[in-house]
Amino acid sequence: MIGVENKSPIAPGTADRSASLWATFPVDCVESRDLGPVAHASGCMRSSQELRGSAILLRILDRLEETLIASLMAAATILIFVAVVHRYAFGIPVLHPYMAAIHLSWAQELCIYMFVWMAKFGAAYGVRTGIHVGVDVALARLDGRSYYRTVLFGLLCGALFTGVIGTFGTRFVWLMAHTDEVSPDLELPSWIVYLAIPGGSYLMCFRFLQVALAFARTEELPHHDPAAEVEGIEQKHPQLAATASAAG
């Protein structure tokens, strides 16, 4: 037989290693490898940088969300404690002159506002971490694909609802900002207080979309405490697990 010269630029034995390397790149990066080495390398670098940038922004948003909720909770707790102690000491004759000079009539109003902000942004945190209470007795009786579609539909409905609330809240705040309305005790502009409606609603809408996208890819919902799982109850729908096993 006449020997055929191997003119391939790839050394023998490197095909398997190259194939394994492609599996580590994003899908759009792998699909662009036929465009040439230079174009492909630049595309992969852009994809990797975009992924890293998105992950960093999401981590920053997560930390800001958690910091805001924890700060509001701590401040409200401390303020309520101080107000209760002040009210109790106000009735003691020895301390009455000192307590009378301290005015905390605004404490209750401020605590209400802080709890409202904490509840709005805490709801978004609950969507991200999966701590909202849900009844899934009917969902557990559905087959794998029906369960998948129903959960995804519910998440998208949540995103639509919170997006609508955020839009109406934005319009409400915008109209209120053009008035002179202030809060009774603190005399804060009312539009600042009501900023919690569009801010918390839009963040919750984003969290619904984030969870929906993750569920569409992995068929798993977030769980806040895996150690608190009840024995005998599967966290992942059994039909989805069976479907994933069959597909694998």
Which two structure tokens, joined as six digits, stand for 181? 């309305």
Q: Could you read off the pLDDT of 105-148 as tens digits, one per residue?
A: 899 999 999 999 999 999 999 999 999 887 878 888 888 889 99
Place of tokens 């992924």: 51
**Cα Rg of the chain (Å, integer):** 28
* Bridge partner residues of 189 (DSSP): 182
Q: Could you read off the pLDDT of 27-39 as tens digits, one per residue?
A: 444 444 444 554 4
Could you give the CA distance from residue 155 to residue 209 in angstroms, rounded to a whole number?
A: 7
Could you give the CA distance from residue 237 to residue 143 in angstroms, rounded to a whole number?
A: 9
Q: Beta-carbon neighbour count of residue 72 at 10 Å?
A: 20
Residue type (1 letter), 143: D
89-98, 134-143, 153-162, 188-197 — which is least confidently predicted? 134-143
Which two structure tokens, joined as six digits, stand for 137? 């007795």
